[in-house]
Chains A and B, each alone.
Chain A
Amino acid sequence: MAEGSRDQGGAGAADPEEDSPNMIVYRKIEDIVTRIQDEKAGGIAVRTVKSFLSKIPSVVSGAEIVQWLVKNLFIEDPAEAIHLGSLIAAHGYIFPISDHVLMLKDDGTLYRFQSPYFWPSNCWEPENTDYAIYLCKRTMQNKARLELADYEAENLARLQRAFARKWEFIFMQAEAQVKIDRKKDKAERKILDSQERAFWDVHRPVPGCVNTTEMDIRKCRREKNPHRVKKSVYGVPDDGQSQPSPIHISSQPSRKPTREDVQKEITFLNIQLDRHCMKVSKVADSLMSYTEQFMEYDPFVSAPEPSNPWLSDDTAFWDLEASRDPSQQRVKKWSFSLEEALKDPAGRDQFLKFLESEFSSENLRFWLAVQDLKRRPLQDVASRAQEIWQEFLAEGAPSSINLDSHSYERTSANLKDPGRYSYEDAQEHIFQLMKSDSYARFLRSNIYQDLLLARKKGKSLTGKRLTGLMQSS
């Protein structure tokens, strides 16, 4: 499999629109919708339904669609099939013949398939002039079923005001469309009218419905040709008035990789090759044991004790966490790793207490001082760094720590120009030292064990399982 980043050179021929996230979804939906309509390949038979005095051509029921989805996409839960079906409807690929709201119902509600001409993948961005023509022509057709809905009437009124100057033009276009429509066969017209309506339901949705053509603005700006002429649904020539959206910034043409680029890549690849890859079995084990260890602390998996504040409205859990009086379960976590022990302020306190009892607290105090240094405002950094040196590393330092000569030299050199990270090396070294030596003894110590087994406080062991006495690492 090809590694690393995409080639920049080769993508020139590909349609830039294909990259957009909406397009990816459209292609997947189109795949499904094509299959559903393919009667020879197990699709649903589109049929004509008799209703009162008329016939309804070219429909299927919602239930049939749900059934097809469940069967052909191997969906276990019908609710999921409905969710998926509603997604397909929301994008306008299927639509209910008597409703503007584009969702799928698992019942006898009748649906029709959208004509590929109106598919969203054709990148329609219909202008208001087109919408005005559409609403206008609807009012010209004397059919009850084509009456405008309230919101459509409102939209029409708004557009009449906005396009007052060119309304005559719009009216003429609408008349022309009506003439064209009249020439079509009656049944065909029923179908086309509904498909056209569904198209507008996608691009000018009913108030309260989601406009599924909306794109994340971060993706919008990558369109390579934002100034391309948008095609009109009714063949109205673009009068150049459409404003490009404020966020369309023409992207820079992609640079061809230079010799240096490829050389840099080679250096990078060489470093990668040198790295030792750990076996998948080992990392899998590591992930599994981590999740296992922490699952009892994961409120989404195990109920927290004493209770989940979100459910019980009792803040006891949080109060306990904030207190320096840790529960056994919390104390147990300190034995997972030195990182975990130091993450918990109570853990830090107890570890420090233990080390002080052994008169060996300088390592931890150094580590804590360096952590603090990293968060200091710039003006304090230099002086604080010097203080740390004096306290822990200088000759005759009161809390002298044991650094190997290499780290010592590097740190001393860093301090010529002291910064927040001057002690990074030394801190890592001391951390490893603590991990391999004093941390292990801490876990075996009375201070720790008493807390773990809740001995001193005379608390009885709770019903919670303690997975044995902690093994010292």
Chain B
Amino acid sequence: MGEMEQLRKEADALKDQITAARKAVQDTTLEEAAAGVAVVGRVQMKTRKTLRGHLAKIYAMHWATDSKLCVSASQDGKLIVWDSITTNKVNAIPLKSSWVMTCAYAPSGNLVACGGLDNMCSIYNLKGKDGNVKVMRELAAHTGYLSCCRFISDTEIITSSGDCTCILWDIETGTQKTSFAGHQGDCMSLAVSPDFSYFISGACDFTAKLWDIRDGNCRQTFAGHESDINAIGFFPNGQAVITGSDDATCKLYDLRADQELITYQDSSIMCGVTSLAPSLSGRLILAGYDDFNVNIWDSLKAERVGALAGHDNRVSCIGVSADGMACCTGSWDSFLKIWN
């Protein structure tokens, strides 16, 4: 037997053992365990505000930690910072490249970042001395499009890319600190754990990976989806991961049980999931789909408890504010809507 074949056999045997170990702790399912939990009832949310101003598809949005401001990125080549309550545009930042795919707001509120087909992550300082918003840094090293970025602080940011890797950057020096390689397909999305020590990435290899930010290692890999994972998020307790995929399902994976706990799907939902966000308690998961709707799922019982219909084209991004009060959706119809 050739060496490669032997190694492959060894790898396969280990995979079988891991599968068996996961099965061994399946003393119940989340659905069974939650059977006794009271139902959450129909969730009805209305559009409270519509943010108008973009002229083309919106690809991304992100709330600021103050739960009032948010930033959105559109293929019209603009990054807009909105006051979601007054619907005023606080900043309208013109971008060098209009093919933007992601944006992020720093927890401090001082910076925003964006990136896309230019393969770079551009950091903008909102609180510059003369009041103008300027590019502070251009982080270039990825060899593929920038699909997602998230700030750890004003000094560090993590990016995911179509080159199948994620990178942790030092913003001050503009250099790469750590590269996270391992995915076999474009990384589409990432999310940072509530305690900022881990992050998760979802990719076009149908898997999600948990990474240790400090040592750069992949801690766990979660498989099960049948198509690209487009969206990913942490359950608010930081111990579970939610993914959304082109296979029209969302899944919940638990980090400590190291496996999928439940799938959120319905035979009448045929379009892929583009984005997702859990509510503050985690009991509800709001997911945006290619069929222009957002579906609201009871995370414990995997039942649909509501829907947000109001966009005239795909819902491309969704976010729940830090205080859990409002949900913001962005769409290819060029509008953002605030719901609750």
User: For the complex, what is the distance from the CA of A6 to the CA of B227, rounded to whole Å?
Assistant: 11
B205, CB-defined interface residue at 8 Å: yes
CB pair A287–B282 under 8 Å, yes or no, is yes
A421 partner residues in chain B, CB cutoff 8 A? 214
User: For the complex, what is the distance from the CA of A286 to the CA of B281, rounded to whole Å?
Assistant: 13
A222 partner residues in chain B, CB cutoff 8 A? 186, 204
CB pair B205–A310 under 8 Å, yes or no, is no
Q: Provide the main secondary structure of the chain B interface.
A: loop
Partner of A8, one of B29, B184, B313: B184
CB pair A310–B326 under 8 Å, yes or no, is yes
Q: Considering the complex, which residues of chain A in the window 1-43 have a beta carbon less than 8 Å from any beta carbon of chain B?
A: 1-6, 8, 19, 21, 24-25, 28-29
Partner of B214, one of A21, A83, A286, A424: A424
B248 partner residues in chain A, CB cutoff 8 A? 24, 28
Partner of A286, one of B4, B162, B239, B299: B239
B122, CB-defined interface residue at 8 Å: no
Shortest distance between the CB of B265 and any CB in chain A (Å):
12
User: For the complex, what is the distance from the CA of A262 to the CA of B8, rounded to whole Å?
Assistant: 7
Chain B, residue nearest A28 (CB): B270
Q: Considering the complex, which residues of chain B in the window 11-28 have a beta carbon less than 8 Å from any beta carbon of chain A?
A: 11, 14-15, 17-19, 21-22, 24-28
CB pair B173–A24 under 8 Å, yes or no, is no
B236, CB-defined interface residue at 8 Å: yes
User: For the complex, what is the distance from the CA of A281 to the CA of B36, rounded to whole Å?
Assistant: 13
User: For the complex, what is the distance from the CA of A269 to the CA of B45, rounded to whole Å?
Assistant: 44
Q: Considering the complex, which residues of chain B in the window 174-224 have a beta carbon less than 8 Å from any beta carbon of chain A?
A: 183-186, 188, 194-195, 204-207, 214, 218, 220-221, 223-224
CB pair A297–B281 under 8 Å, yes or no, is yes
Given contacts A210-B312, A218-B162, A270-B14, contact A288 B270 (CB under 8 A): no
- Determine the interface band of chain A, counting residues with CB < 8 A from chain B: 35 or more
B261 partner residues in chain A, CB cutoff 8 A? 280, 283-284, 287
Shortest distance between the CB of A246 and any CB in chain B (Å):
9
User: For the complex, what is the distance from the CA of A84 to the CA of B270, rounded to whole Å?
Assistant: 8
CB pair A301–B153 under 8 Å, yes or no, is no
B14 partner residues in chain A, CB cutoff 8 A? 266, 269-270, 272-273
CB pair B239–A277 under 8 Å, yes or no, is no
B117, CB-defined interface residue at 8 Å: yes
Q: Considering the complex, which residues of chain B in the window 76-108 have a beta carbon less than 8 Å from any beta carbon of chain A?
A: 85, 99, 101, 108
CB pair B11–A266 under 8 Å, yes or no, is yes
User: For the complex, what is the distance from the CA of A175 to the CA of B298, rounded to whole Å?
Assistant: 59
The proximity string for B residues 278-322 relative to A, scoring 1 for CB distances below 8 Å and 0 otherwise, is 011111100000110100000110000000010011000000000
Stretch at the interface among A72-80, A129-137, A226-234: A72-80
Q: What 9 A-B pairs have minimum CB-CB distances, sorted nearest first? A: A294-B281, A284-B33, A298-B281, A269-B14, A3-B15, A278-B256, A21-B246, A291-B283, A298-B280
A-B contact pairs, 16 of them (CB 8 A): A5-B207, A21-B246, A24-B272, A81-B268, A87-B291, A222-B204, A259-B7, A272-B220, A283-B254, A284-B29, A284-B34, A285-B33, A287-B237, A288-B34, A294-B236, A300-B45
Seed contacts A3-B223, A281-B33, A310-B48; 13 additional CB < 8 Å A-B pairs? A3-B15, A21-B227, A24-B248, A29-B270, A218-B101, A222-B186, A280-B254, A281-B27, A283-B261, A287-B282, A290-B281, A308-B340, A310-B338
